[in-house]
Amino acid sequence: MSSTIYLLTTLDIHCYPETEKDVPLWLEETLKLLDKFSINATFFFPAVIAEKFARYVRAILDKGHEIGCHGLTHESEEQYNLMPYEKQSAILCEAKKRIENVIDDEVISFRSPIFKINGDTIKALQENGFRLDSSVNSQRIGVFSSDITNTGWIYSPRKPYHPSFDNPFVRGGSSVWEIPQSSFIFPFISNSGIAFGGTFMKLFFRMLYIESRFRRNPIVYMFHPEDIYSRRDRLLYKFKWSHLLPSKKTGFEIRKILFHNKRPEDTSRQIIGLMEMMRNSNNIEFLTFRKMLRLLESKDG
Ligand SMILES: [Zn+2]
């Protein structure tokens, strides 16, 4: 049996009016970093952002990375778990087509905005020709997320699986592959590192690495391009009493106090340190989602 540990590096792209001018800088910095470590990654773009930065999207593709879909607009109303099937399908169809027009290639991978999906999302993904989803955070505790009432994550499988159309957190009959975002209580994403520090993330990686050696599940890591841009403006968190109460849309806002107020140069250094450690670990192979699909299919067949 191969002892290769598969690592899927993913980037979720966001853009707000006040940060629009900086997105190209973040993307360029990210490409440099991935180049330095010879890592091929999957960039999840909301369709409207892919259109806005079409030139950069094509440059990312030319470097051998994959472009996936991160919804249509990623605005707060785009919550797939709350939409009826028909609406989800229409939005996913439009988002996929619009990104495909930008890259002149097929889009097969999806990650939902703030990781929210339901069984209808899986059905809509399959109907629209998506092959892979990475919105399930297996064994992440929802209370630390934007989806505080989600209990499905607690029991969802840790290995890639075909979800059910009735419940995306259990195995079922869809042809879509769910590749869970690696998690254990917390997600293996840059936000956890910003909250708990670089040593925490390195230990987290060690744990996932050992698990992967025994259980053969790929490791999925996510960061945002802005996280590694050390010259970005610091976001200062402004406390409001309402942040102590959970909201159905964004969970406990107070948890954001952990992310903001950190120095961008520290966050950047920490992520680069983690990437270096991952790159230098034995038997690691970095894959895009599309390449992971090929491996899964060769095992299935
Ligand atoms: Zn997002």
Percentage of the chain surpassing pLDDT 70?
A: 87
Domain edges within the chain: 5-300
Q: pLDDT value at position 235?
A: 63
Exposed / middle / buried, residue 76 (Cβ in 10 Å: 0-12, 13-18, 19+):
exposed
Confidence of residue 230 (pLDDT cuts 50, 70, 90): confident
Ligand 1 centroid from CA 299, angstroms: 31
Q: Which whole number is the average pLDDT over 216-242? A: 82
Ligand 1 centroid from CA 224, angstroms: 9
Do residues 148 and 254 lie in contact, with contact meaning Cβ atoms separated by under 8 Å? no
Task: Tell me the CATH number of domain 5-300, given options 3.40.50.300, 3.20.20.190, 3.20.20.370, 3.40.50.150.
Answer: 3.20.20.370
Ligand 1 centroid from CA 225, angstroms: 12
Q: What b/e sequence results for 263-282 when a residue is b if at least 16 CB atoms lie within 10 Å of its CB, and e otherwise?
A: ebeebbebbbebbebbeeee
Q: Which whole number is the average pLDDT over 209-222? A: 96
Confidence of residue 229 (pLDDT cuts 50, 70, 90): confident
Q: pLDDT value at position 151?
A: 81
Confidence of residue 3 (pLDDT cuts 50, 70, 90): confident
| Chain segment 11-61, per-residue pLDDT in tens | 999 998 888 999 999 999 999 999 999 999 999 999 999 999 999 999 999
> 259 or 123: whose pLDDT is higher?
123
Q: pLDDT value at position 99?
A: 98
Phi, psi at residue 67, to the nearest 5°? Answer: -105, 120
Ligand 1 centroid from CA 170, angstroms: 23
Confidence of residue 259 (pLDDT cuts 50, 70, 90): low
Tokens of 233: 């403006």
Q: Which whole number is the average pLDDT over 133-147? A: 80
Ligand 1 centroid from CA 214, angstroms: 31
Ligand 1 centroid from CA 37, angstroms: 24
Ligand 1 centroid from CA 106, angstroms: 21
Ligand 1 centroid from CA 114, angstroms: 5
Phi, psi at residue 233, to the nearest 5°? Answer: -70, 145
Tokens of 142: 């929802």
Q: pLDDT value at position 64?
A: 96
Ligand 1 centroid from CA 149, angstroms: 19
Q: Which whole number is the average pLDDT over 90-118? A: 97
In whole angstroms, how large is the CA radius of gyration of the chain?
Answer: 18
Ligand 1 centroid from CA 12, angstroms: 5
200, 203, 209, 213: CA torsion to nearest 10: -140
Ligand 1 centroid from CA 3, angstroms: 32
Ligand 1 centroid from CA 70, angstroms: 7
Ligand 1 centroid from CA 195, angstroms: 18
Three-state secondary structure call for residue 15? coil
Q: Which whole number is the average pLDDT over 79-106? A: 97
CA 171 → CA 164, 176, 293, 294, distances in Å? Answer: 5, 11, 17, 20
pLDDT for 284 beyond 90: yes
